Chains A and B, each alone.
Chain A
Amino acid sequence: MSNKEITVKIDGKECKSVEGEYILNVARANDIFIPAICYLTRCSPTLACRICLVEADGKRVYACNAKVKDGMEVTVTNEEILQERRAIMEVYDVNHPLQCGVCDQSGECELQNYTLELAVDSQSYAIPDTIRQNKNWSDVLHYDAGLCIVCERCVTVCKDMIGDSAIKTGPRGGEALPKEAKDTMPKDAYAMWNKLQKSIIVPSNGTDFTNCSDCGECTAVCPVGALVSRDFVYKSNAWELKRIPATCAHCSSGCQIYYETKHTSISDPTEKIYRVTNEWNYVSLCGAGRFGYDFENRVQGKDEEAFALALKAFNTAQSIKFNSAITNEEALMLQRLKEKLGVKLINHDAKAFKDFLASYSKASGKGLYGGDLKEVMKSDFVISVGASLRNDNPNARYAFNHVQKMNKGAGLYFHPVGDTLVSTFGKSVEIFTHQVGQEELALYLILDLFANKERLDDETKEYLASFHRHEKRIVKEKIMEEVSQSVTDKATGETKEVIKKVPKTIEKEIEVQINGLVEMLGGNDAFYENFEKMKSKKESFSLIIGEDLYYHPHSRNLSRLVALIEEVCDMTLVMIPPRTNSLGVAMICDLDEEESGYVIGYNEHGHFRLGSRGFSKLDIPALNQQEGTFTNINKRVVPTNAALDYHGYELNDILNALGIGMRQAIDFTPQLGRIEGFKSENFDDLPNGYTNAGEELRGYALEVVETNKEEIKVVKFDESIVINEGEIAYRCNPQRQFNDFTDRSSQINEEFGAYVSPNKAKELGEEIEVIFDQEQSFKLKVIVDDRMQGDIIAIPDYKSYQNVYGVFGRDRYKKVTIKKV
């Protein structure tokens, strides 16, 4: 899309836009209503519904896939178009079960709405119905084919945003349309009906189950009641639920969500969260955000005894250990406690990230990385290094996929653990399953491939050049050889010379350019050829880096390399914060290295535990019972609201008892302004939503401050840290598990265990003991992750009491001994 400003007229209203934007999006941004069912903002138009028909400069076009041109005049409705639209709605209503009375979508159903909007009050079409079965596609997906209008929104979102491509249209087995329909019906309505009558939605792997990421985004986009999460089927009507705008508490994406609450039952009036919904046109959730919502901490009231003990504990404590599944306000309160009591603040996930950021800032002269995921989504070449894309941050993965699907993009994925899903995102995705410890090499390869070499210093240039060599190779090539044969025509007896072409394999010696970096990183020969194709015509490049680089023996060098890449390759850089609010904590708290003395665990292990899970000495509210803000990967401070009541004590009460508290926890929000990058905004002034144009109005963006820039000095790759033998354990959560909160949620059932590839599972059996060098060990169930490849085993860190972060320390990969049990 170019950025040329143009003006179009829609129904007489002048609208400003940019070239290449769809008419529908321009209309929406200018508050003009054009009916549309199948189009999803950010995804490709499928033309399944055809109801968005409009007239542009006298021609009939579909608003969702026709682009605006300067001076274009668009008429949204005229008599003929209205007839088409009515006919389309009538067709949708053919054989649609009249079950709005029980349907879960009733009240927010687009079929209901458009049928009414277009004043369809009678039916002119009919066709015999087909039996369509209800199916449970997975633990969370319930598909009622009877209600499905085959708008394909679910298919589109799964392909273009999520990347699983787990569902597709399949044969419906319906009867052919009545013959006379073609001549008597409006044209578009006929075409739509023809397609509708042939298809329903089925899992694309040919089985009855999707076997997908279970993100539930398909249920969110479904305009009717066909796709609903299993837990919600027939539980409540949409209009009974109270929507509370909030922010997902689970990972650093900080997606905007709505908690939807209602009383539990007739006999129990306490509020309960029934589901999580989202603005699916502008934000895509993962399974943790969508289904991990019932993690609240219910307490009877204020436990004064426990509070007194807690106060005592705070007065004796030398360290407070916590993780980053907390709000900015809590982080600030902990920092205040540190200042007041002189305790150490220990946070495993934020500390490494903070150090990495600090060293990056020195090299780059910027307080924070330059890009965000939205910019990544706009790029057409995306690279991921050191992140398990599928698990670390679902939205980073969506962005990676989106670039492939929507921007005709390309991608490089560097990671020691093979992943079968990422390679399916697009044809131009190249996977490097390198050895553990080679992350620096990966960054050097990026420099080599993308850097403007003039801007590199000589040493680095030479170093990169040292990997290149020429080699003679013998390649086999198939050619067509012409052979002449004499053929005798049997009938006439004439002999003729005929020239025939036959294939032949010859051997040829060629000189090839070898890039030692590609070789060492496990890339294949075909990469050189592919890469030229991948890179051609690409304009914007982006780099996503993940936790592997922060927890790395050479993290400092890596941070400089990253800064160098950002500078000399013109890349949009995004760093994935390890946990929900690691970025906020890293900016707000002074963190210490080692814990000592009496430790208070704040949602973590310690001598005295404060936590929002049942087994703590003093209960504190969970993140769906708290107001406050998070700092997310997009460098935004976003607000979240309390969906459920909490009657016990919270951190602010402790601070109040010590004389440094505020009336409410959110009174700390404006105080954040004293920290560089934050603003002094009152919590109640922070917006939390999206405009019709898709603009994100949530909280505020952090200011990226300039820091003193030092010259970037990078050092060469050091072979000695590579782990290439023995068993390797990797600290990584299964999809949909992020922290104690997801663990507690009833619909997130990924267990704590050793996640391995199918092949590795055969070798390991059912249960193993993983022994670390400091003699610590875990007995773990072996769980197969179909999408993993290779021998590395993943050990989750989401259960705080298992202290997996502590065991791994400053590494994400560890050599271990594995014993079968």
Chain B
Amino acid sequence: MSLEKFKDRNIGNQNYTLIGHEAFPQTSGEKFERVMKRMLKGELFVGLWVTLRTMFQALFKGEMHTTKYPFEKLPISPRYRAIHEMLRLLESGHYRCIGCGLCEQICISDCIRMDTRYDENQRKEVSEYTINFGRCIFCGYCAEVCPELAIVHGPRYETSSEQRASFSLFEDMLTPIDALKQQKEYPGFGAISPNADENIKKTPLAY
């Protein structure tokens, strides 16, 4: 439908179709008569019948028209910023986070904390990582700053909890290793722009 029609506000110049209707009751006797008529007509049951019929169709004929929340959720825009996820490297399965601490530093509600250490393979290990969701305002800065696309916002938007402060640990947010195949690249806030290649210069290599 084009918007043209809605923008034309010259009411009165259009060709309206008049719907025929009975004459309005004039005297109080006529009014009383109309009330009584409507009352006894049984239109009410027409409405109830429609409801019953749809219910029957939905329950027994599999013609459901609504989402069964909380058992079912609507797909959400990839740019929506809900509870964080920690992604893994697709090749090795190792977590992507390198423990750089940038998310911790940039977080404006100061709700990220992490511990790191020098591990046996001479790498920086993220030994503990937490986000306090009681304070997180889902601004997405952490996902934006992360140089590894390790921390991203997932689609889990229910954030009610029994306590004011609800924490998530690294393991809670990390893609389960058996779900690695299903891990999707995050196209939302902070992801690489589609034309990223055009914006960088190549470093020469001598091999």
The residue on B at minimum CB distance from A125 is: B204
A462 to B128, CA, bound (A): 77
CB-CB < 8 A to B154: which residues of A? none
B31 CB-CB contact with A under 8 Å: no
Complex CA gap A126/B202 in Å reads 12
In chain B, what residue has the closest Cβ to A124?
A: B204
Contact present for B204 and A123 (CB under 8 Å) = yes
Assess whether B115 is in contact with A128, with CB atoms less than 8 Å apart.
no
B18 on the A face (CB < 8 A): no
What 0/1 readout, one digit per residue, does chain A (485-505) give for beta carbons within 8 Å of chain B? 000000000000000000000
Interchain CB contact under 8 A, B118 and A101: no
A106 vs B102: C-alpha distance in the bound complex, in angstroms? 11
Closest to B129 in A: A266
In contact, A266 and B101 (Cβ under 8 angstroms): no
Find chain B residues with CB under 8 A from A106 CB.
Answer: 100
B105 touching A235, Cβ below 8 Å = no
1/0 per position for B87-126, CB-CB distance to A under 8 A? 0000000000011111011000000011111100011110
Residues of B within 8 A of A234 (CB): 99, 116-118, 124-125
Rounded to whole Å, the gap between the CB of A700 and the closest CB of chain B is 38
State the main secondary structure of chain A at its contact with B. loop
Give Cα A323 to B53, complex, Å: 95
A178 to B104, CA, bound (A): 43
Residue from A100, A101, A128, A235 with most neighbouring chain B CB atoms (10 Å): A101
B206 CB contacts on chain A under 8 angstroms: 126-128, 178
B204 & A101 in contact (Cβ 8 Å cutoff): no
Collect the chain B residues with CB atoms within 8 Å of residue A239's CB.
105
Chain A, 165-202, CB within 8 A of any chain B CB:
178
A538: min CB distance to chain B, Å: 49
Are A101 and B117 touching (Cβ within 8 A)?
Answer: no
| Any A CB within 8 A of the CB of B203 | yes
Complex: chain B residue closest to A269, CB-CB: B113
The interface residues of chain B lying within 8 Å CB-to-CB of A686 are none
Q: Please, what's the 1-or-0 string for B170-207, where 1 marks a CB less than 8 Å from any CB in chain A?
A: 00000000000000000000000000000001011111
Which residues of B lie under 8 Å from residue A123 when comparing CB positions?
Answer: 201, 203-204
User: Are B130 and A102 neighbours in the complex by a CB distance under 8 Å?
Assistant: no
Whether B147 is near chain A, meaning CB under 8 Å from some CB there, is yes
Any chain A CB within 8 A of the CB of B148?
yes
With both chains docked as a complex, state the minimum distance between the C-beta of B128 and any C-beta of chain A, in angstroms: 5
Interface residues of A in 238-281 (CB under 8 A from B): 239-240, 265-267
A109 to chain B, nearest CB (A): 13
With a cutoff of 8 Å between Cβ atoms, the chain A residues found around residue B123 in the complex are: 102
Bound state CA distance, A102 and B125, in angstroms? Answer: 10
Complex CA–CA separation, A233 to B100 (angstroms): 13
Chain A residues contacting B125 (CB-CB under 8 Å) are 234
A233 neighbours in B (Cβ, 8 Å): 118
Query: Given that A121-B201, A122-B201, A266-B115 are known contacts, is A102 also in contact with B105, CB under 8 Å in the complex?
Result: no
Q: Any chain B CB within 8 A of the CB of A237? A: yes
Residues of A within 8 A of B207 (CB): 128
* Complex partner residue of A101 from B115, B129, B147, B205, CB under 8 angstroms: B147
Considering the chains assembled together, what is the distance between the CA atoms of A240 and B115 in angstroms? 12
Smallest CB–CB gap between A728 and chain B, Å? 45
Q: Are A235 and B117 in contact (CB under 8 A)?
A: yes
Q: How far, in angstroms, from A234 to B125 measured CA to CA in the complex?
A: 8
**Contact A265-B128, Cβ < 8 Å, known A124-B204, A126-B206:** yes
Quick check: is A134 within 8 A (CB to CB) of the other chain? yes
Q: In the complex, are the beta carbons of A102 and B98 less than 8 A apart?
A: yes
Cα separation A237 to B147 with both chains bound (whole Å) = 16
Is there an interface contact between A101 and B113, defined as CB atoms closer than 8 Å? no
Show 23 A/B contacts (Cβ-Cβ < 8 Å), sorted by A. A101-B98, A101-B99, A101-B147, A102-B98, A102-B100, A102-B123, A126-B203, A126-B204, A126-B205, A128-B207, A134-B122, A233-B118, A234-B118, A234-B125, A235-B116, A236-B116, A237-B105, A239-B105, A240-B101, A240-B104, A265-B115, A266-B128, A266-B129
Q: A122-B201, A237-B100, A266-B128 are in contact. List 18 more A-B contacts (CB 8 A).
A: A101-B100, A101-B147, A102-B124, A106-B100, A121-B201, A122-B203, A123-B204, A124-B204, A234-B116, A234-B117, A234-B124, A235-B116, A235-B118, A237-B101, A266-B115, A266-B129, A266-B130, A267-B128
